[in-house]
Structure 1
Amino acid sequence: MATLAQPVGPFALGTFSVPDAEPFPGLLSKGRVLDLSAALAWAPSGMRAVLERWEEALPVLLVLADEDALDWRPLEGLRVHAPVEPRQIFQSGANYRQHVIDLEVAHRSPDDPRTVEEARAEVAAVMDRRAAEDLPYVFIGLPSTIAGPYDDVVLPSWAEQPDWELELAAVVSRPAYRVPVEEALEYVAGYTIANDLTDRATVFRRDMKAIGTDWLRCKNAPGFTPLGPWLVPAASIADPGDLRVTLKLNGETMQDESTKDMLFGIARLVSYISQTSRLLPGDLVLTGSPAGNGIHWGRLLRDGDVMEGSITGLGMQRTRCLAEGSTA
């Protein structure tokens, strides 16, 4: 399956392994992989170590990608892991206009007096105000949710409404704190694909509505963030605000939207997060999911489902769902 996921640009980065060996950071170019733990002078132990020296590493990686007389390995036969292990995951919610409208309609109370059209119009007005006031909505996820791009994901027995949320993820290249919007993209090493799985049934606390959302419960089960396959350098992506985000469930297209529909682009999200928190090399900024989630279609994830998620230039991930306790 990895051969179907070639990225755009002269090279991409990933994390790979062979049977019975530790994963290594790798350079992917022309369908072949170079072990960076051996090729780079400082012998990075993982992709985060590469990112911590990103400005120094980038020109070297460009040269290596064009060198044929190196110890390249064929991509086929290598296991592909999540490209990076982040220390922090920042997740943007309610960042796609049509997605928020769909969720509002799906979660309307049975006694809501508004018509569908009235509900949509009210939510649209709220989003316009948020955009004008420069107020993204960001929460925090756990690194333990990260899974490889081709790994199976176990649906916990308590998850009544597991759902998909394919997202563009930015990968941070250097520490960022109180960064202005105009400089924010300078702190982005590149982009990858994330599927931010969510149990819709536990998004809101039933025991005390005033508490609001419960992101720990609904989003942070092990493996709930399939990531990758590749980290594609920012220079290879002409415009992250104009990429196609597509998710297929068992071959049927469920999400198919442009990142143009985002309320807040990468620069605004990175800058906003940095006003409160210090972003670190390898951290992820998930940018929200477009319309077409399972709650919209009335079709949630179940045992045996296969999701294929792709974003323009970033390759494709493939995730099979297994009910807890089932056998592969």
Structure 2
Amino acid sequence: MSAPAWALGTFADAAGPFPAVVVDGTAYDLRRIGGPELTVDALLADWEAGEARVAAAVAELTSSAAGAGAAESAVALGAGAPLAALRPLPPHAPAQILCAGANYHRHVQQIVVSTLRNAGDTRPEAELRREADAQAKARASADGPFFFTGLPSALSGAHDDVPLWGPGREHDWELELAVVIGKRAHLVDPADAMDHVAGYTMSNDISLRDVMRRPGFPMTDFLLSKNRPGFFPTGPLLVPRRFVADHRELRLELRVNGETMQDERVSDIIHDIPALISAASHATALSPGDLILTGSPAGNAGHHGNRWLRPGDVMEASITGLGRQRNRCVAPPQG
């Protein structure tokens, strides 16, 4: 995938946060064309009109710069600011976050093997892998995807620190492609699902593995294990769907302290994006701006010898064309 002609985001400078269109590494304040109350969420609320408005402003910017030189281009978007001088915030404020779990073939296989090993299973590796393959195939033939809900309050920016909240100690990473809904979707057929997509961003679903299942309580705790403040670094960019020719070819990469932990293409997904949108729309009504996290690929901490995150670790993540994240892990605040 080539670099998108433009993308959206929300950034902060010394004066505070502002909605921006990003062109060639420069962020242009969209309030110059939409007024002081404009947000990315407002553009998503009427995405067809909002996308057209931004595209027209970018066309004016690029044609003016090409004809007169950037220094002389008196366009509505103004001069802009380099991304390196800004703090990226989550691109927008979704009302709902739906997260698909166990949705990559190799990820499921690795989870099964590491879970069995951690539980003391001493069978040969080949036997464990056969069981893992069977469970991955069972996930693929299941009635539909598994979802859990995320909390918008857990979102953080692409360069923000990630506090490693307790009560557990086994903090894990999960880089995910996230779909941004651009049109209300309810009871949508998979064949029509992509018509409801505004674009894509990325999120790192930080998870506490040892808190996920409470001892003596036969249910999963996704509040304490996945939805603590700062546990969803998201962004920096929201790339319109028009610039992603084939989302299945996007490559997800995550490193911890420079060591590659995840490196996979979306094509390894079990339930694809149209299936996810359709299933989610049959469970609830989706509105513009809602996020659907599509699952994390192989390479979580359990696969890397239970190498859990520690204060001081630096996670660097990228998805083709969607920008880069760099998040430092820190001890949680006291008190």
Output the TM-score relative to the length of structure 1.
0.91
* Corresponding residue of 1:251: 258
Check conservation: 1:157, 1:323, Cα contact below 8 A.
Answer: no
Check conservation: 1:44, 1:50, Cα contact below 8 A.
Answer: no
Residue 309 of structure 2 corresponds to residue 301 of structure 1: yes
Check conservation: 1:154, 1:322, Cα contact below 8 A.
Answer: yes
* Corresponding residue of 1:29: 23
* Corresponding residue of 2:71: none
Tell me the secondary structure at the aligned position of residue 275 of structure 1. helix
Task: Compare the two structures and name the one with the higher helix fraction.
Answer: 2
Q: How far has the Cα of 1:133 moved from its partner?
A: 4.1
Q: How far has the Cα of 1:87 moved from its partner?
A: 0.8
Q: How far has the Cα of 1:61 moved from its partner?
A: 1.5
What RMSD in Å do the two structures reach over aligned CA positions?
1.8
Q: Give me the whole-angstrom Cα distance separating, in 2, the residues matched to 1:40 and 1:269.
A: 33
Question: What is the aligned length?
Answer: 316
Structure 2 gaps of 5+ residues are 62-74
Tell me the secondary structure at the aligned position of residue 263 of structure 2. strand
- Amino acid of the residue matched to residue 220 of structure 1? N
Q: Give me the whole-angstrom Cα distance separating, in 2, the residues matched to 1:198 and 1:284.
A: 18
Q: Give me the whole-angstrom Cα distance separating, in 2, the residues matched to 1:11 and 1:269.
A: 26
* Corresponding residue of 2:324: 316
- Amino acid of the residue matched to residue 261 of structure 1? D
Tell me the secondary structure at the aligned position of residue 60 of structure 2. coil
- Amino acid of the residue matched to residue 281 of structure 1? P
Q: Please list, as runs of the form range in 1=range in 2, the aligned pairs for 1:148-163 lying within 5 A after superposition.
A: 148-163=157-172
Residue 54 of structure 2 corresponds to residue 46 of structure 1: no
Q: Give me the whole-angstrom Cα distance separating, in 1, the residues matched to 2:98 and 2:284.
A: 10
Identity of aligned residues (%): 42
Output the TM-score relative to the length of structure 2.
0.89
Q: How far has the Cα of 1:120 moved from its partner?
A: 2.8
* Corresponding residue of 1:63: 56
- Amino acid of the residue matched to residue 287 of structure 2? L
Residue 76 of structure 2 corresponds to residue 81 of structure 1: no
* 2:9 paired residue among 3, 10, 14: 14
Tell me the secondary structure at the aligned position of residue 72 of structure 1. coil
Residue 224 of structure 2 corresponds to residue 217 of structure 1: yes
Tell me the secondary structure at the aligned position of residue 283 of structure 2. coil
Summarize the Cα distance change of 1:129–1:159 in structure 2 as closer, same or farther, 3 Å threshold: closer
Q: Give me the whole-angstrom Cα distance separating, in 1, the residues matched to 2:105 and 2:142.
A: 16
Q: Give me the whole-angstrom Cα distance separating, in 1, the residues matched to 2:275 and 2:28.
A: 34
Q: Give me the whole-angstrom Cα distance separating, in 1, the residues matched to 2:235 and 2:275.
A: 23
Check conservation: 2:28, 2:81, Cα contact below 8 A.
Answer: no
Q: How far has the Cα of 1:128 moved from its partner?
A: 2.4
Q: Please list, as runs of the form range in 1=range in 2, the aligned pairs for 1:108-127 lying within 5 A after superposition.
A: 108=116, 110=119, 112=121, 115-127=124-136
Runs of 4+ in 1 over 3 A off after TM superposition: 109-116
Q: How far has the Cα of 1:252 moved from its partner?
A: 1.1
* 1:290 paired residue among 292, 297, 304: 297
* Corresponding residue of 1:276: 283
Check conservation: 1:8, 1:232, Cα contact below 8 A.
Answer: no
Q: Give me the whole-angstrom Cα distance separating, in 2, the residues matched to 1:115 and 1:146.
A: 41
Q: Which moved more, 1:220-229 or 1:236-245?
A: 236-245
- The CA deviation string for residues 167-218 of structure 1, in whole angstroms up to 9 with x for no partner, is 110111121111000011111111111000000101112122xx23211121
Check conservation: 1:10, 1:62, Cα contact below 8 A.
Answer: no
Q: How far has the Cα of 1:233 moved from its partner?
A: 0.6
* Corresponding residue of 1:99: 107
Q: Please list, as runs of the form range in 1=range in 2, the aligned pairs for 1:230-269 lying within 5 A after superposition.
A: 230-269=237-276
- Amino acid of the residue matched to residue 245 of structure 2? A
Q: Give me the whole-angstrom Cα distance separating, in 2, the residues matched to 1:111 and 1:28.
A: 50
Check conservation: 2:177, 2:295, Cα contact below 8 A.
Answer: yes
* 1:129 paired residue among 133, 138, 150: 138
Residue 214 of structure 2 corresponds to residue 205 of structure 1: yes
Tell me the secondary structure at the aligned position of residue 279 of structure 1. coil
Summarize the Cα distance change of 1:156–1:130 in structure 2 as closer, same or farther, 3 Å threshold: closer
Residue 200 of structure 2 corresponds to residue 180 of structure 1: no
Structure 1 gaps of 5+ residues are 1-6
